[in-house]
Structure 1
Amino acid sequence: MPGVIELTTILMVAVIIIVLAIFFTFVPVMLWISALASGVRVGILTLVGMRLRRVVPSRIVNPLIKARKAGIDLTTNQLESHHLAGGNVDRVVDALIAAQRADIPLGFERAAAIDLAGRDVLQAVQMSVNPKVIETPVVSAMAMDGIEVKARARVTVRANIDRLVGGAGEETILARVGEGIVTTVGSSVHHKDVLENPDKISQTVLNKGLDAGTAFEILSIDIADVDVGKNIGAKLQTDQAEADKQIAQAKAEERRAMAVAHEQEMKAKVQEMKAKVVEAEAEVPLALADALRNGKMGVMDYVNYQNILADTNMRQSFGQTPDSSHGDRKK
């Protein structure tokens, strides 16, 4: 019997230890004690409810303690709802504390909206205090005299808390500044005007109000570097002249081809006419024979015809030069 009693006691102690371990694991008693010690009243049932809603209590209570110590009045419901919406509670609280220290008006609802919009609210508050410098890539533009000018600018911006939700980002600022540089250089008569007064670009770009609709406020635009590039105007004229030359050559080749085709056509017509003459000459003896046979032509007429041919050949032989006759004999 004593052995059974000891075994029962050991089992009871083990069960009690297991129950206590489960209780302290499920119920964050130490976190509740820390909150009470910090002057933040959070009920045990509230912490248990967070466990049931699958919310880590430390992610709510610790930022709440931080906010209360900084003098910011927040509730567990606000922080928990923001956490359940997918926000970063700790970052929002840090942003609220930084805004309070910098005397920037920022409420919890706006900070939570900025965080849920995908922007770093803490970085935005820090940029409101300490402006950020954005450097543009090299922007190439051409002045009216055809000379290329390459410029690079540094844009100093400050975050605008009121326009962080729905405002455009840094890419829009860089695109607008690049457009302003191209417009300013393109409206300059000589590229030397830009080289002598680079601040002309800054003033023109600033006067355009490029920060409208963005999440930033442009404080200054400084031209970091200005270089002279290629003579694009001369290159364009050279390319145009080369294109005109090729067009003229193509048209001349077309005319030459048409002339060759016309010449070939005329030669073909001449050959055709010669063939018809040869064909007609071949029919002359037949016609003479037919005329003699039918009595339409007498013997004396034929003799006179032969005499005329002989006289014609003789006159042709007299009219030839010695060189031509020599050449004929060679042939």
Structure 2
Amino acid sequence: MGLELAPLRIPFHRRLETFAVLQWWFCFMFLGILSTVISLYLLLFTSYYWLVLLLAGWIFYDRHTPCRGGRRSDWIRRWRLWVHMRNYFPINLIKTAELDPEKNYLMGFHPHGIMSMGAFVSFGTEACGFSEKFPAMRPLLLTLGGWFNFPLARDYIMSAGMCDCSRESLDYLLSDSGKGNAVVLVVGGAIESLEAHPHAHRLYLNRRRGFIVKAMEHGAHLVPIYSFGETDVYEQMANPEGSFLRWLQAKLTKWIGFAPPLYHGRGIFNYSVGFMPFRKPINTIVGEPIPVEKNPTPTSEEIQALHEKYKAALIKLFDDNKSKYGVEADRRLSII
């Protein structure tokens, strides 16, 4: 197939949408590394080493904040930039039930996809109208703790309401920080990104029980979320179980903490190949809450029972909505 070039004349709003996604992709891929490289350069080769020492001191002083609810900025969450990013795909946040602001919720986001763009736009910004759809609720999107070791980058992502996904962070958000928290966890984690192929609906969930335990310990209601189209915005190199590529990716995940998928999308000036995601819709469906009674010391049987109940609710959410978003009627959600 030949290279399909983008036309020179396109509406200005589409250029803004492309820019919005481009800057987010750059931040996702390089912001942490770039901030580290610049810091090392200033420290070792310039007279501004004191600035790096100040930043290091700030990271140490502020080290507990990512596990204590972060430091969100409603101004940044409402930037027009995120609306342009939403419109690029577009991304929609669909509500199916009310959330009670007098309770806390642990919301499981599925699937991870390559970059969890639906999770970020829906819960890390106000572009999809979370606050209007769920009044008095505070969304908190969890991410890998390593992000909060990068100078300046840590403060930028915390401004979106993002927090550490550690046990300490969950304990705080689901108990000590009050009510009305909607804590969003991408349950499958980085390993699930290896399953992110177009039209694939395969989740890494059977071994994920830690979030069930935390929900039970704090009496936080569980909410399944399924994001249709999350795996369609990129094409990933074939990596079936048993292949050398899959073996290598699994090893790298154990060594460095995340799975590096080999993927491509479209380009900035062409529609065929590049690092930009394809313009395909993402529809993020928030399911009905599953009531959870507080149980500080749940047994393995109780954990397993709630885990099965959660999986059943997630499968039902998928089946009830798949026909609306282009999934074949006979397609089943695969949970591994």
**Which bin holds the TM-score, normalised by the shorter protein?**
under 0.3
The structure that has the greater radius of gyration is 1
More helix by share: 1
Q: Under a length normalisation based on structure 1, what TM-score does the superposition of the two structures give? A: 0.21
Q: Under a length normalisation based on structure 2, what TM-score does the superposition of the two structures give? A: 0.21
